[in-house]
Structures are given as C-alpha cells and as structure tokens.
C-alpha cells in the first residue's frame, strides 16, 4: 500500500445546500450572527434586474436588519469597482457582507469583507497570504453553478488592460456558503453549459494536481464529477428542473472545495489569455482548450483520467489509455450537445494570435506548476493550434 502524502485541507466552516434557502437567509444570519443588524449585499446589475434579490432582502428585513445593496459589480472586476464597493460598505456601517451572484460578485464580497474595517490597502494584499487583518462576517450565495468561488480563498481583480492579480488568503474563506438552486433557474443554456464545464475542469484538474493532490480533494472531485456529468446536459435541456439545478450547484461547490486545496493547472493557464485578450467568458475559455490539454497530458495522467472515466463514462472499457481517451471524448460531446463554441476560430481567434496566446500562457507559472506534465512554450502553442 502506498503512503498517504502529508497534506492540509481547508474550506468554509459551514455549508447549507437547500432549494429555497435564500428565502430564509434572514433566519440563517440571525442564528449564526446574533446582534448583527447592518447587512451589505454585493451583486451585479444584471442579477438585480432579475428581481431575485428581493426574497433574500425581505427575509433579512423581516429579522429587523437594515439591508444595503451594492449592484455595480462587473465581470472581471477592476480595482475601482472593489474600492467603490468598500466605500459603499463603510458609508453604510456594514457589519456583515453577503456575496450574491457569480464568481465576480463573490470575489468582490470577499475583498469588501477584508477591506471595509481594515487599514491595509488592496495593493498590499495581492499574492499569497498577504492579508493581515480580520474580516467582517461573510456569507456567499452563488447564482451560477461553476466557479465554486463560494468555497475558495481567492479573489481575482483586473489591474490593467488585460492583467489580473489575485488575493489568496485564509481570511477569504466565507463563514457560510448557501446553495439555493432557485436562484439559478433562469440561467440560459449556454451559460449553464460553459460554467458547468468549468466546474468539471476544476474537478479534473484537482484530481491530477501535481503537488497538492490529496485524499479529501480526490473524494470531492469524484463526487463533483458524478453530480455534474449526470446533470449538466439535463440542466441545459430543462433549466427549470430544481433538483437538477441543485445537483449542479452542489457539484460546482464540491469541485470548488477540491481545487481550493489541490489547485487547477494547464487548462486554466491556457484559458486565462483567451479570456484576458479576447474577453471570452471564463467557462467557455476553459472548454475550448480542455480536450487538447487533456490529450497533451495523457503520457503522465492517463491513469487518473481512466479513473475519472469510470465516473463520467461508466461504460468505457479497454486499456487505461482507451478509457482516458473516452473521458476526453465525453467532455467534447458535452460541449457539442450543449451547442457552445468548440474552436478558437469560432470566438474570433486566428493563426496570427497563437504566439501571443502562448507567450501569455507561459506567464501563468503558478498554474502550470500544478500540471501533471511540464508545458513548454512550444507545447502551449501546439495546444492552441490544435484548438484552433
Ligand atoms: Zn475555472
């Protein structure tokens, strides 16, 4: 029997998975944070327009709480949005922050919680373990099943035209993550597909993470893939099925817990430049390069991929290599069935762009270091060429 490698594992301290839970958010807050009266909800304008903020807001107000809503979060939030949100939180004497939205809203909520009653500047927090102070109580309520941001300790901020910085710190783990699929019923199929595939990538990359793979993240990754692979296409075909949506939300959350401890790798490293330069959404960027990175990784990762094939394509048989290939084909099939773009050309990328993409991907050293197989610049370019 092989020795279990030393590892550590951290996640949020409390998780509530329950359709309709957002409608009793006030009760959840009152139970866990008695005496807290002034709440800030961080969201984006699009989600505010759906009207779905009203039920949790009302539930908080019914507990006698004062609720302020900051709805200026945008995708890939720049520094000034974060700082505006912090000012807003201070102006309202915020005692507790609720992130209600996709990854961007939850990332901004994390930063508001650590910045609002802290003298440390945002710029001093970039990097790993740089946050010095304590944060305000923080609750995360995702409205997409993808990023897993509700259970991760990272927040990404856009600092320049295409550059991004990350704050990674234990304080960014929320006190409570609330998974309520009722908030995700209206997501269009293409968003459901891309964010769902992103969550599957989190599980796959966590399972093959080079240095921090561990038994807990493995268990979570497998359960996440089981839920996501069984429900993703169904969620795209019938977005109003609450049970299917709840399974997706839980799958994405478990994958988030897995990759927060066994980090993602080359799929994300190669996806980031596609998002940064061409403003392709995160989930779709990952989906576009996924099969080609997995194929590149086969010499080192076929064994692990074959194990995951047992979950995603249970009927797969034959050699380890054949089962690993079956996993890759299955992931391509999901993208195809759901109708999202499958080639770089479909999102406007041409042969001339490949060098710049490869150069930018090589800057993602933190992610590339987690990949089961070493990626050179030539490899990165070849993977993009295959994905063209
Ligand atoms: Zn991702």
DSSP states of 118-140 as a string? --S-GGGG-EES---S----EEE
- Determine the Cα–Cα distance for residues 42 and 56; give it in Å rounded to an integer: 12
pLDDT score, position 145: 96
Contact call for residues 227 and 250 (beta carbons, < 8 A) = yes
What confidence tens digit (pLDDT) does each residue in 15-40 have? 999 999 999 999 999 999 999 999 99
pLDDT score, position 155: 97
The DSSP bridge partners found for residue 155 are: 167
Confidence label for 279 from pLDDT (cuts 50, 70 and 90): confident
pLDDT score, position 2: 75
The mean pLDDT of 203-219, rounded to a whole number, is: 97
Confidence label for 285 from pLDDT (cuts 50, 70 and 90): very high
Cα of 182 vs centre of ligand 1, distance in Å, is: 23
Cα of 275 vs centre of ligand 1, distance in Å, is: 11
pLDDT score, position 164: 82
Look at residue 233 and tell me whether its pLDDT is greater than 90: yes
List the structure tokens of 21: 């839970």
Q: Please, what is the end-to-end C-alpha distance for the chain in angstroms?
A: 43
Average pLDDT value for the chain = 96
Cα of 60 vs centre of ligand 1, distance in Å, is: 31
Least confident of 73-77, 290-294, 347-351, 377-381: 73-77
Instruction: Look at residue 208 and give its three-state secondary structure.
Output: coil
pLDDT score, position 63: 97
Going from the C-alpha of 83 to that of each of 44, 133, 144, the distances in angstroms are 15, 17, 24
Cα of 268 vs centre of ligand 1, distance in Å, is: 6
Cα of 153 vs centre of ligand 1, distance in Å, is: 14
The mean pLDDT of 61-68, rounded to a whole number, is: 98
Burial 146-179 (b: 16+ CB within 10 A, else e): bbbbbbbbbbbbbeeeeebbebbbebbbbbbbbb
Cα of 105 vs centre of ligand 1, distance in Å, is: 15
Cα of 106 vs centre of ligand 1, distance in Å, is: 14
Cα of 33 vs centre of ligand 1, distance in Å, is: 31
Look at residue 198 and tell me whether its pLDDT is greater than 90: yes
Q: Backbone phi, then psi, for 200, in 5-degree steps?
A: -65, -40
Cα of 207 vs centre of ligand 1, distance in Å, is: 14
pLDDT score, position 60: 98
Angle among Cα 107, 112, 113 to the nearest 5 degrees reads: 100
The mean pLDDT of 331-349, rounded to a whole number, is: 96
The mean pLDDT of 284-288, rounded to a whole number, is: 97
What confidence tens digit (pLDDT) does each residue in 74-127 have? 998 999 999 999 999 999 999 999 999 999 999 999 999 999 989 999 999 999
Look at residue 191 and tell me whether its pLDDT is greater than 70: yes
Of 117, 65, 107, residue with least CA distance to 86: 117
Cα of 252 vs centre of ligand 1, distance in Å, is: 10
The mean pLDDT of 167-189, rounded to a whole number, is: 97
pLDDT score, position 1: 60
Look at residue 245 and tell me whether its pLDDT is greater than 80: yes
Instruction: Look at residue 15 and give its three-state secondary structure.
Output: strand
Look at residue 317 and tell me whether its pLDDT is greater than 80: yes
Cα of 32 vs centre of ligand 1, distance in Å, is: 30
List the structure tokens of 200: 């599957």
Cα of 71 vs centre of ligand 1, distance in Å, is: 23
Look at residue 166 and tell me whether its pLDDT is greater than 70: yes
Helical ranges in the chain per DSSP H: 25-32, 45-49, 54-61, 79-91, 103-115, 189-207, 215-237, 242-261, 266-278, 282-312, 320-338, 354-362, 365-368, 377-387
pLDDT score, position 218: 98
Q: What is the DSSP-derived secondary structure letter of residue 151? A: G
The DSSP bridge partners found for residue 100 are: 141
Cα of 122 vs centre of ligand 1, distance in Å, is: 23
Cα of 66 vs centre of ligand 1, distance in Å, is: 34
Going from the C-alpha of 189 to that of each of 47, 76, 131, 345, the distances in angstroms are 16, 21, 38, 21
pLDDT score, position 161: 76
């Amino acid at each position: 029997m092989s020795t279990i490698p030393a590892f550590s594992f951290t996640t949020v301290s409390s998780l509530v998975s329950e359709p309709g839970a957002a409608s009793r958010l006030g009760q959840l807050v009152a139970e866990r944070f008695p005496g807290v009266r002034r709440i800030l909800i961080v969201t984006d304008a699009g989600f505010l327009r759906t009207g779905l903020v009203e039920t949790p807001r009302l539930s908080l107000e019914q507990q006698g709480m004062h609720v302020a809503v900051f709805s200026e979060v945008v995708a890939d939030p720049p520094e000034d949005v974060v700082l505006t949100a912090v000012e807003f939180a201070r102006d309202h004497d915020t005692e507790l922050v609720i992130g209600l939205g996709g990854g961007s809203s939850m990332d901004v909520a994390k930063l508001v919680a650590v910045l609002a009653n802290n003298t440390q500047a945002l710029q001093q927090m970039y990097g790993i373990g740089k946050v010095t102070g304590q944060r305000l109580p923080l609750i995360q309520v995702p409205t997409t099943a993808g990023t897993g941001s509700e259970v991760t300790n990272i927040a990404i901020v856009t600092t320049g035209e295409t550059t991004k910085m990350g704050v990674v710190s234990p304080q960014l783990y929320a006190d409570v993550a609330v998974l309520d699929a009722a908030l995700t019923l209206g997501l269009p199929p293409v968003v459901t597909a891309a964010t769902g595939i992103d969550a599957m990538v989190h599980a796959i990359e966590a399972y093959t993470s080079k240095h921090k793979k561990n038994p807990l993240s493995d268990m979570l990754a497998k359960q996440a893939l089981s839920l996501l692979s069984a429900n993703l296409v169904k969620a795209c075909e019938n977005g109003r099925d609450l049970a299917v949506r709840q399974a997706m939300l839980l799958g994405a959350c478990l994958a988030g817990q897995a990759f927060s401890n066994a980090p993602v790798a080359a799929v994300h490293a190669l996806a980031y430049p596609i998002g940064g330069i061409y403003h392709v959404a995160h989930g779709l960027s990952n989906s576009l390069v996924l099969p080609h990175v997995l194929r590149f990784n086969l010499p080192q990762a076929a064994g692990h991929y074959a194990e995951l094939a047992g979950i995603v394509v249970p009927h797969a048989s034959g050699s380890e290599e054949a089962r690993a290939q079956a996993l890759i084909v299955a992931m391509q099939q999901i993208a195809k069935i759901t109708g999202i773009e499958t080639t770089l050309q479909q999102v406007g990328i041409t042969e001339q762009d490949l060098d710049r993409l490869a150069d930018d991907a090589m800057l993602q050293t933190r992610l590339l270091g987690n990949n089961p197989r070493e990626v050179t610049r030539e490899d990165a370019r070849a993977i993009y060429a295959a994905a063209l």
